[in-house]
């Protein structure tokens, strides 16, 4: 008698659980996952896409995702900054707030706005975060220059994570790019019409800013508008993000933020659960 009552109770509980599951809507994580990436050659939003924030133009670096499948494009935090071009300290330079709208574009020049290919929202800025946390680490304040723009849901199927021409990234670079090794990038400054000068190859000059940064020489060097663009190491791993153009003591050298440091900081303080770099669908090749 006792076992029969227990069995009846278990069956009833199982049926109630099953009914609740059937009545519940599909988990948001499944609804948010893109069905697939756009083909690499046809994607409108990708590493190297032009990004406009309150009129300022920068270049996207890499594609990221979170635990529930939302899609992000990274660029430099100073792209949403309110300071002058010489204000490079993210801990004391003001920024446009989170929630600021960002426009993805192609073929913009100094006289045209280009073709709008999508929109997104600024959801993370290392500058805003360091300012709020009263960060005192001088190296981080100078080199942690990374922000994330969440791609609008209706534009997600326009995205591919592959770097134009080079392919990749294959994964996040941990060892980095020791001095003398090759680096690869794609910049899309509106100061340079067309794509002929967008693919860049160069050489690492080594680490800077106590591990938070790198210096590189490339042909051609990065110019304003290339800011935020991603750099790959010799094996196609995501190395860093373009932050500065140096005038001295190494004229035309570019300063990068180290993506491993920047991403770890974002994973810790952005509040975006499961934030991670997305690998390119196109195989990395150092020969264009």
Give residue-wise pLDDT tens across range 28-62.
333 344 558 999 999 999 999 999 999 999 999 99
Give me the residues paired with residue 238 across strands.
172, 232
Q: How confident is the model at residue 247 (pLDDT cuts 50, 70, 90)?
A: low
Please give the domain boundaries of the chain with CATH numbers for all domains.
50-161+263-277 (2.40.10), 182-259 (2.40.10.10)
Model confidence pLDDT, tens digit, residues 139-190? 999 999 999 999 999 999 999 999 999 999 999 999 999 999 999 999 999 9
Q: What's the pTM value of the predicted model, to 2 decimals?
A: 0.87
**26 Cβ partners below 8 Å, 6+ apart?**
none
**59 Cβ partners below 8 Å, 6+ apart?**
48, 49, 50, 51, 75, 186, 187, 188, 189, 225, 226, 227, 228, 229, 242
**Residue 89 backbone phi and psi in degrees, to 5:** -90, 110
Model confidence pLDDT, tens digit, residues 16-27? 444 443 333 333
- pLDDT for 195 equals 77
Q: Which residue has the higher pLDDT, 218 or 28?
A: 218
Residue 138 has pLDDT above 60, yes or no: yes
């Amino acid at each position: 008698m006792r076992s029969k009552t227990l069995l009846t109770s278990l069956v009833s509980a199982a049926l109630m659980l099953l009914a609740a599951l059937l009545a519940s809507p599909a988990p948001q994580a499944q609804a948010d996952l893109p069905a697939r990436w756009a083909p690499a050659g046809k994607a409108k939003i990708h590493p190297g896409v032009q990004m406009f924030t309150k009129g300022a133009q920068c270049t996207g670096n890499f594609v990221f995702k979170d635990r529930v499948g939302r899609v992000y494009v990274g660029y430099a935090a100073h792209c949403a900054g309110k300071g002058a071009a010489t204000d490079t300290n993210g801990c004391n330079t003001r920024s446009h707030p989170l929630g600021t709208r960002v426009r993805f574009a192609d073929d913009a020049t100094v006289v045209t706005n280009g073709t709008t290919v999508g929109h997104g929202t600024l959801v993370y800025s290392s500058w805003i975060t360091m300012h709020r946390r009263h960060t005192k680490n001088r190296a981080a304040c100078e080199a942690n220059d990374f922000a994330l723009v969440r791609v609008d849901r209706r534009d997600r199927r326009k995205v591919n994570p592959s770097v134009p021409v080079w392919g990749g990234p294959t994964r996040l670079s941990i060892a980095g790019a020791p001095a003398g090794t090759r680096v690869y990038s794609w910049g899309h400054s509106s100061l340079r019409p067309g794509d002929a000068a967008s693919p860049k190859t160069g050489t690492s000059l080594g680490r800077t800013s106590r591990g938070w940064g790198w210096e590189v020489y490339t042909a051609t060097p990065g110019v304003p508008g290339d800011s935020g663009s991603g750099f790959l190491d010799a094996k196609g791993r995501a190395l860093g993000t373009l932050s500065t153009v140096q005038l001295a003591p190494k004229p035309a050298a570019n300063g990068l933020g180290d993506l491993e440091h920047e991403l770890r900081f974002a994973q810790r303080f952005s509040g975006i659960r499961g934030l991670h770099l997305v690998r390119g669908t196109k195989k990395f090749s150092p020969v264009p």
